């Protein structure tokens, strides 16, 4: 593959150039019971930028706001050279129904709050985090376009919405002359490939760059889980670690562990790590613009950046494909 972090790619049908690996920051802060303390988060950010990375991903409610706040500090010296993406729609205040959701009131208040937390005048890329199957998409697109015209947001994008709705939105934005969606953030990894049916072909057709999240399926593809973990009950292993978070969310199944075994075999053949193979597999898809790194430690980040050097043989790709086909 022989990419580097500064092998920038165009994001969807836009002129914006982003790194092939984006820095996910849901691990910035420990408010969710796992993640990196401020010092470690700073080191993750610095290493990523030092290697030429420019694409940073957060959301207004990640780690209860710590992720955005930390980024607000870390980006003081290099804000302009970064493509800073954040998301809105998740509830900012428990019990206050309008503090989240895709509607106009939530959109405007969330963006103002993000601008303050991120310590910036503009957001490069604003994602609708989750569509609620209720808010009219015209209301969302018009609101997003207003923010673009105000200069508070430069580009708009979407995550976690069905393909039919995203393509409808893109057509409406086009007809009305509103800002088009330039990126689609979806879960995509060797375990979760359903996006290949509709979402990814739709994104290609409609001019959205695909940005996979959870490329390692939250860690399941790193090979750190065993069959013993599969049989352990949630209660028995509930010690608050991320490892158990996955178990509680059903990420561990026989099928998924079988896929992780194939990843491990291919990694051994290549002299690479399982995390590198899992990440590189997402990047081998030409519709993927950038995959989101979910590193919690500096060692994990260093490891994950090595994914850019992985070169699969045709037979290795075929085995990975066969093990995970949907
Ligand atoms: P991953 O699938 O990469 O999972 C991250 C976890 O995998 C880490 O916490 C760590 O687990 C483990 N891990 C990562 N790298 C390594 C390594 N080299 N060796 C061993 N273990 C490793 O990604 P995430 O699910 O965290 O998602 C990445 C980013 O995507 C987020 O930060 C966020 O920006 C975005 N995202 C967006 C969503 C959306 O709805 N749009 C939803 C989810 C994420 P451990 O902590 O156990 O060490």
The response to whether residue 34 sits with its C-beta less than 6 Å from ligand 1 reads yes
Residues 6+ apart with CB under 8 A from 239: none
133 dihedral zone (left: phi>0; alpha: psi -120 to 50; beta): left
Q: How far is the CA of 22 from the centre of ligand 1 (A)?
A: 12
Model-level ipTM above the cut of 0.95: yes
The yes-or-no verdict on residue 240 having pLDDT over 80 is no
Give pLDDT tens digits for 199-229: 999 999 999 999 999 999 988 999 888 787 7
**Whole-number pLDDT of residue 293:** 97
Q: What H or E segment, with its residue span, contains residue 165?
A: helix 163-176
pLDDT recorded at residue 1 = 66
The answer to whether residue 8 is catalytic is no
Instruction: Count, in order, helices (H) and strands (E) of the chain.
Output: 13, 10
Report the C-alpha gap between 120 and 134 in whole angstroms. Answer: 31
Q: How many Å apart are CA 258 and CA 69, to the nearest integer?
A: 39
User: What structural domains and CATH numbers belong to the chain?
Assistant: 9-219+273-310 (3.20.20.100)
Instruction: Find out whether 57 and 91 touch, Cβ atoms under 8 Å.
Output: no
CA pair distance 227, 205, nearest whole angstrom? 41
At 235 the pLDDT is: 39
CA pair distance 203, 273, nearest whole angstrom? 30
3-state secondary structure of 200: helix
Residue with tokens 């709050």: 113
Cα of 108 vs centre of ligand 1, distance in Å, is: 29
Q: What's the confidence (pLDDT) of residue 237? A: 47
What is the SS3 assignment for 314?
Answer: helix
**From 298, 300, 306, mutation site for ligand 1 pocket: most ligand atoms within 8 A of C-beta:** 300
Q: Of the candidates 303, 297, 299, which has an alpha carbon nearest to the alpha carbon of residue 39? A: 297
Angle at 66 between CA 61 and CA 69, to 5 degrees: 105
Q: Read off the pLDDT of residues 108-167 as tens digits, 9 standing for 90 and up.
A: 999 999 999 999 999 999 999 999 999 999 999 999 999 999 999 999 999 999 999 999
By percentage, how much of the chain surpasses pLDDT 70? Answer: 93
Question: How far, in Å, is the centroid of ligand 1 from the Cα of 150?
Answer: 33
Phi-psi region of 180 (alpha: psi -120 to 50; beta: other; left: phi over 0): beta
Query: Residue 54 pLDDT > 80, yes or no?
Result: yes
Q: Which of 158, 213, 221 to mutate to test the pocket of ligand 1 (most atoms within 8 A of CB)?
A: 213
Residue identifier of the C-alpha nearest atom 14 of ligand 1: 295
Ligand 1 atom showing the smallest separation from residue 213 Cα: 30
Summarize the confidence of residues 265-286 as an average pLDDT. Answer: 98
First to last CA, the chain: 25
How confident is the model at residue 224, as a pLDDT?
A: 84
Per-residue confidence (pLDDT) for residue 236, from 0 to 100: 40
pLDDT value for 266: 98
> pLDDT digit string (tens) for 67-119?
999 999 999 999 999 999 999 999 999 999 999 999 999 999 999 999 999 99
- Whole-number pLDDT of residue 232: 59
For the segment 53-77, the average pLDDT, to the nearest whole number, is: 98
**C-alpha torsion 10→217→127→113, nearest 10:** -130
């Amino acid at each position: 593959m022989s990419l580097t972090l500064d092998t920038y790619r165009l994001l969807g049908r836009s002129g914006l150039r982003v790194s092939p690996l984006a820095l996910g920051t849901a691990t910035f802060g420990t408010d969710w019971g796992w993640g990196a303390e401020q010092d470690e988060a700073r080191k993750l950010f610095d290493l990523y930028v030092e290697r030429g990375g420019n694409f940073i991903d957060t959301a207004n409610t990640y780690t209860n706001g710590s992720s955005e706040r930390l980024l607000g500090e870390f980006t003081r010296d290099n804000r302009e050279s970064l493509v800073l993406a954040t998301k809105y729609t998740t509830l900012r205040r428990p019990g206050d129904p309008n503090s989240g959701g895709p509607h106009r009131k939530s959109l405007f208040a969330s963006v103002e709050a993000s601008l303050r937390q991120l310590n910036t005048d503009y957001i490069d890329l604003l994602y609708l985090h989750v569509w609620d199957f209720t808010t009219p998409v015209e209301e969302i697109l018009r609101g997003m376009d207003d923010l673009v015209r105000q200069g508070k947001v430069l580009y708009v994008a979407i995550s976690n919405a069905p393909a039919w709705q995203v393509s409808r939105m893109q057509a409406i934005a086009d007809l009305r002359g509103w800002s088009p969606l330039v990126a689609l953030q979806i879960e995509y990894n060797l375990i979760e490939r359903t996006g290949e049916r509709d979402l990814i072909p739709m994104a290609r057709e409609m001019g959205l760059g695909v940005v996979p999240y959870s490329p390692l399926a939250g860690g399941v593809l790193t090979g750190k889980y065993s069959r013993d973990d599969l049989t352990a009950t949630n209660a028995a292993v509930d010690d608050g670690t991320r490892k158990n978070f996955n178990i509680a969310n059903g990420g561990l199944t026989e099928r998924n562990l079988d896929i992780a075994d194939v990843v491990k075999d291919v990694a051994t053949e290549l002299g690479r790590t399982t995390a590198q193979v899992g990440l590189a597999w997402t990047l081998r898809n030409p519709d993927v613009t950038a995959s989101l790194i979910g590193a919690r430690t500096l060692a994990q980040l260093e490891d994950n950046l090595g994914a850019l050097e992985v070169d699969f043989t045709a037979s290795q790709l075929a085995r990975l494909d066969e093990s995970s086909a949907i």
